[in-house]
Amino acid sequence: MDILSSTLNNAVNFNPATTIDSVVSSLQLLATVASIANVSWPENSPVKGLWPLATHSPYDWDFVSEVDDCTSHALHGKRTAHTRGKVLGGSSTINHSVVQRGSKLDFDEWVKAGHTNWNWESVLKYFKKAENMLDKKLVNGPTSKYHCDKGPFSVKPQSKNKLFVEKNGRLLKGYSELGMHILEDPFVPIPNGTGGLYLHIKDDKEQSRRASTAEEYLLPIKDKSNFHILKEAQVIKILTNHNKEAIGIFNNYFSDENDLERMIEAVKKIKELENVPEYSDVGGRFIRPPLPECDDLDYQSHSYWACYVKNMATTIFNPASTCAMGLVVDDNLKVKGMKKLRVVDDSVIPFLPRGTTTMITIMIAEKAADIIKKEHEVNKGLQCDPPLATTEIEQVNVARFLGLMVDAHGTWESHVDYASKKLNRFVFVLRKLTNIASEKTALLADHGHVEST
């Protein structure tokens, strides 16, 4: 949402004289954030390396998984924390900051599933549009065609700290000795291999200052008259006929045998590092933790590794695809069967990608902004349709919550209530968060609960 509203808002400044922009300039943009009291701008971003402190903090929705048959049995209570940012910038404000784009192979799969508008060439355009690549080696190097240093989303190589460089170099050399390709640029279309990480870090001298979408996309537009941020507000209901059931989070990671087999292979591969001089010379070894469910099995047998994986595996917090394109939303991100409701967040990613999800979500939001602008151009006649009063056109808003965004060009459905006089441009029933804890039970474990009428 941060990205989308900023991109739409900035479009107003480009050329207000054009038809698209005169339509776009009639948009009112709303960000609702179920943040905690006093959550403000970037100073609330934890220092990057301290991200674990965000889990179970007031900045976290604090969801946990249900106990299932096949995952995380060695974890406390056999449950996985499903941390999710409850703060401006969402999870980007508290996440691990790793920047990845997935692979062209992911987007080939999107195309194969019929989402042809989301082919590699078209998504690359938006990855680049968003990017502020601070590594000039990449911007001016042989892979420069995949990069841009003019976007808002800053990307920097991880620390140059001497100790880190030495340890990381050893790790990469070890991987290389196992036959893995070391990538100079992890953003090439098919990044098959491994390499140094790139992080979402501010463009300043202090390596430890994280960036966030709040800082990069919302802060620059926060004082614009058609942009509204409602903090400490929790959307609890959207008045549509879009029904969604509240469910718990079941990881079920290894319910598919193929996933289990692939993870066992991965663990065995990593264990081979023990035999690589880079590791063995410094006493590096695979640690065997006590696992009551597995300890009676022959160590290193297939059944042991299967048990090990099921006990030890957890999440690295990149769930996606709960409102998948093709199933819940169409290629323009509109909820199927509805004209004026879009979802723009990581839940629309059709299949789990080969990488982390922030950058893909940002690409989706950038592209969504263009889709919306284009639709307004195509449908410009709508403004003149007799039933629509100008004031109602002006009440078009793009609001987002739980990953749900309404893009209404025209009047709202007749059954929709306006929230209040003060917020007369919003159609959602918003409730002040006076007691997050008691409200939380009403939330859907995924991104929140959507109560429908």
Check residue 438 and report its DSSP letter.
H
**Residue 156 near residue 139 (C-beta atoms within 8 A):** no
Contacting residues for 212 by C-beta, under 8 A, at least 6 apart: 42, 45, 88, 89, 92, 93, 200
Within positions 172 to 191, which residues make up the interface with ligand FAD, using CB under 6 A? none
Q: Which stretch binds ligand FAD (CB under 6 A): 79-87, 122-130, 167-175, 294-302?
A: 79-87
Within positions 378 to 407, which residues make up the interface with ligand FAD, using CB under 6 A? 401-403
Starting at the earlier edge strand, list the strands of the sheet with 198-199.
131-133, 153-157, 198-199
Nearest of 183, 159, 186 to residue 172 by alpha carbon: 183
If binding is defined by CB under 6 A, does position 348 make contact with ligand FAD? no
Dihedral (Cα; 82, 86, 89, 92), 10-degree rounding: -20
If binding is defined by CB under 6 A, does position 32 make contact with ligand FAD? yes
Q: Which stretch binds ligand FAD (CB under 6 A): 72-80, 97-105, 265-273, 412-420?
A: 97-105
Give the whole-angstrom CA distance, residue 176 versus residue 296.
35
Within positions 39 to 78, which residues make up the interface with ligand FAD, using CB under 6 A? none
Nearest of 161, 219, 158, 215 to residue 186 by alpha carbon: 158
If binding is defined by CB under 6 A, does position 318 make contact with ligand FAD? yes
If binding is defined by CB under 6 A, does position 235 make contact with ligand FAD? yes
3-state secondary structure of 334: strand
Nearer to ligand FAD, 232 or 370 (CB): 232
Chain residue at closest Cβ approach to ligand FAD: 90
Nearest approach, Cβ of residue 54 and ligand FAD (Å): 7
Nearest approach, Cβ of residue 74 and ligand FAD (Å): 20
If binding is defined by CB under 6 A, does position 84 make contact with ligand FAD? yes
Q: 11-23 b/e with 16+ CB inside 10 Å = b?
A: bbeeeeeeebbeb
If binding is defined by CB under 6 A, does position 356 make contact with ligand FAD? yes
- The tokens of 118 are what? 């989301």
Nearest approach, Cβ of residue 57 and ligand FAD (Å): 11
Nearest approach, Cβ of residue 295 and ligand FAD (Å): 31
If binding is defined by CB under 6 A, does position 368 make contact with ligand FAD? no
Nearer to ligand FAD, 14 or 164 (CB): 164
Which of 64, 75, 98, 291 contacts ligand FAD by CB under 6 A?
Answer: 98
Which of 79, 96, 147, 340 contacts ligand FAD by CB under 6 A?
Answer: 96
Nearest approach, Cβ of residue 33 and ligand FAD (Å): 5
Nearest approach, Cβ of residue 42 and ligand FAD (Å): 14
Nearer to ligand FAD, 67 or 197 (CB): 197
Which of 26, 45, 154, 358 contacts ligand FAD by CB under 6 A?
Answer: 358
Nearest approach, Cβ of residue 394 and ligand FAD (Å): 24
If binding is defined by CB under 6 A, does position 345 make contact with ligand FAD? yes
Give the whole-angstrom CA distance, residue 414 versus residue 423.
18
> Which H or E run includes 216?
none
Nearer to ligand FAD, 200 or 376 (CB): 200
Contacting residues for 176 by C-beta, under 8 A, at least 6 apart: 182
3-state DSSP helix/strand/coil % of the chain, to nearest 5: 35, 15, 50
Nearer to ligand FAD, 34 or 371 (CB): 34
Q: Which stretch binds ligand FAD (CB under 6 A): 27-35, 106-114, 140-148, 156-164?
A: 27-35
In one-letter notation, the amino acid at residue 127 is F
Contacting residues for 397 by C-beta, under 8 A, at least 6 apart: 27, 28, 29, 30, 406, 408, 425, 426, 427
**Residue 333 near residue 325 (C-beta atoms within 8 A):** yes
Q: Which residues bind ligand FAD (CB under 6 A)?
A: 32-34, 83-86, 90-92, 94-98, 100, 234-235, 317-318, 345-346, 356-359, 361, 401-403, 447-448
